[in-house]
Each structure stands twice: as C-alpha cells, then as structure tokens.
Amino acid sequence: MMESNNKHNWKTKLHEVIYEADTPAGKLFDVILLIAILASIVLVMLESINSFDNKHHTFLNIAEWVITILFSLEYVARVISVKKPFKYIFSFYGVIDLLSTIPKYISLLMAGTHALVALRALRLLRVFRILKLARYLGASNQLAAAIKASRAKIAVFLFAVIIAAVIFGTIMYLVEGEKNGFTNIPKSVYWCIVTLTTVGFGDIAPVTPLGQFIATVIMILGYGIIAVPTGIVSAEYTKASGSDSGKLSDEEVVQLESVQLNTQCCVNCLTEQHQDGAEYCYKCGSPLHHNA
C-alpha cells in the first residue's frame, strides 16, 4: 500500500525507519532497539549483584559503553530526522531518551554516582513507545478507556482509603504504642495501609488483644472495600465493550471500527495515529512520506 514518491531523501528515510513500523527496516529497527533496551536492563540488574560485579566488572563496563553509544547514536538520529528537533527534545520521550542515555557520561565526570542506576532503569519506559505495535493487538484501547472512565471514581475512593488509614493509624498508635513497633503515627499509617491493602508484611503486627481486635475490623473493612475499585473497573469495562458490540447497529459498528490506524509519525509535528492511506498529517497538514 506504499506509493512511489520522488521527494525521498536520507532524512525522511531515516525518519521512517526510526519513528514508524510499516516498513521492514522500521520493524527491524524497533526489534533491535527492544533487544538493546532489555539487554541494558539486564546489565543494570547484574551490576547491582556484588558477587557478579566483582567477577565480571570489565565486561559489564564495556557492555554498558556499547549500549550507551548505541543509544547516543539513536538519540542524534532522532534529533536529525525530525523537522522540528526542539519539539522532540522537550517531548516526554525526548526527555526520557536523553536521561537514559547520559548516566555513563556523567559517571566519567563524577565518581561513585550510585543513584544514576535509577536513570538507567528509566530506559524501560522507552519500551512503551516501541509497543505502539501493541495497538494492533486490539487489546489496550478498551482497557485504557475503562481505566480512564473510572479514574476519577478510583481517585475519590483511594482518597477515602487514605483518610481511613490515617484515622485508624492514629488509633493503633495510641492502642499499641511504641513498645509494640508502632513507634510513631506515620509508621502506624504505613502499617494500616499494609493491612487495608491485604499485603500484610508482618514486620509490624499488633500484640495487645485490643490492637488485634481493631486490626480485625481494619482487615474486614479492607476485604469489603477491595470490592469497590474492582466493581468500578468491571462495570466501566462492561459498558465500554458493551456499547461497541451490543447496542450499536451493524452499520455503526462498521463506521467505528473500520478506521485502521498505522504506525506512521508526522515528520513535522511528530503526531501519530494516522489512518491507513492518509497522505497528509491530520494535525499540521504536512505530507506523510511513504516508502516506494
């Protein structure tokens, strides 16, 4: 479905390879990038294991440099191939890309910057961009709609949970006291949320009979209210998926479902989600270049 186009130059070609997944080269780029990201995460993990780091420090160092250079090249290519580089640089993924590339360079300047591993873990967020492919699985759209629709309700609900945790936490602090591990109110509130969410670490546990009775009330409360967010998402999701298939006529379904999106990404404004076969960007009007 690709048309021949004589404006092709290496920049638009690069843009297509990096930002889109319609062409074989674009797909290959995405797969390689995915592997590089996952390998880099494995490296971060291995480096944190002392026994492994001691034995294979040189290997880990070289591997991290290879990945850092690969990501640097990718970052430069992304900046070059876009018409408005600053728009990319200050976009969400632009910042993530930069932050997840620089830790190794910073470690050259400053020694012992332990905290930089957190920046390296950010690389995982980049997986989401590649998984625009997931859209084709037809899986995430309804799910996202259901979560979005119930967001406000879940927020109100979680707010109520936190208020309950603070009040019960204060009571438990008074009942159990410092000698039984409830050393202060924040710690008591922490214990209360551990209990309400049914996690139950057991690092702190009530010892007095009254404390255990109140804990019982908190647990049954938590048991009862765990039903609420579940019920909300479930109902919203039923509505979201029900309105697609159940209540619309066949014609309407066709109209809604037939818009097939592709992975193209406007070279000018980086807008995504273009219809299959679209010639111009629906946002800025600049032409979308197709592979010949």
Residues 191-230 that bind a copy of itself (CB under 8 A): 193-203, 205, 209, 212-213, 215-216, 219-220, 222-224, 226-230
Q: For a copy of itself, which residue of 39, 98, 130, 185 counts as binding (CB under 8 A)?
A: 185
For residues 117 and 48, the answer to whether their CB atoms sit within 8 Å is: yes
Greatest distance between any 2 Cα atoms in the chain: 82
Nearer to a copy of itself, 2 or 95 (CB): 95
Nearer to a copy of itself, 79 or 228 (CB): 228
Between CA 92 and CA 108 the distance in angstroms is 26
Q: Could you tell me if residue 202 is left (phi over 0), alpha (psi between -120 and 50 degrees) or otherwise beta?
A: left
Q: Which of residues 70-129 bind a copy of itself (CB under 8 A)?
A: 114-115, 117-118, 121-122, 124-125, 127-128
Among 149, 155, 151, CA closest to 241: 149
- Of the pair 49, 62, the CB lying nearest a copy of itself is at 49
Return the range that interacts with a copy of itself (CB under 8 A); candidates 61-69, 78-86, 160-168, 276-284: 160-168
Binding residues among 163-182 for a copy of itself as defined by CB under 8 A: 163, 166-167, 170-171, 173-174, 178
- Residue whose CB is less far from a copy of itself, 6 or 245: 245
- CA–CA separation, 76 vs 78, rounded Å? 5
The answer to whether the beta carbons of residues 98 and 89 sit under 8 Å apart is: yes
Q: Angle at the Cα of 281 (from 279 to 284), degrees rounded to 5?
A: 140
Q: Which of 138, 249, 251, 258 binds a copy of itself (CB under 8 A)?
A: 138
Q: Which of 30, 29, 107, 31 is nearest to 68 (CA)?
A: 107
Residues 17-56 that bind a copy of itself (CB under 8 A): 41, 44-45, 48-50
Q: How far apart are CA 147 and CA 119, in angstroms?
A: 28
**What part of residues 251-290 is at the interface with a copy of itself (CB under 8 A)?**
none
3-class DSSP assignment, residue 261? strand
Of 3-11, 25-33, 85-93, 143-151, the segment contacting a copy of itself by CB under 8 A is 143-151
Helices (H), 82-139: 85-89, 92-101, 103-109, 116-121, 126-130
CB of 31 to a copy of itself, least distance (A): 16
The residue count of the chain comes to: 292
Nearer to a copy of itself, 14 or 119 (CB): 119
Q: Whole-number minimum distance, CB 72 to a copy of itself, in Å?
A: 22
| Size, binding site for a copy of itself by CB under 8 A | 93
Least spacing, CB of residue 252 vs a copy of itself, in Å: 15
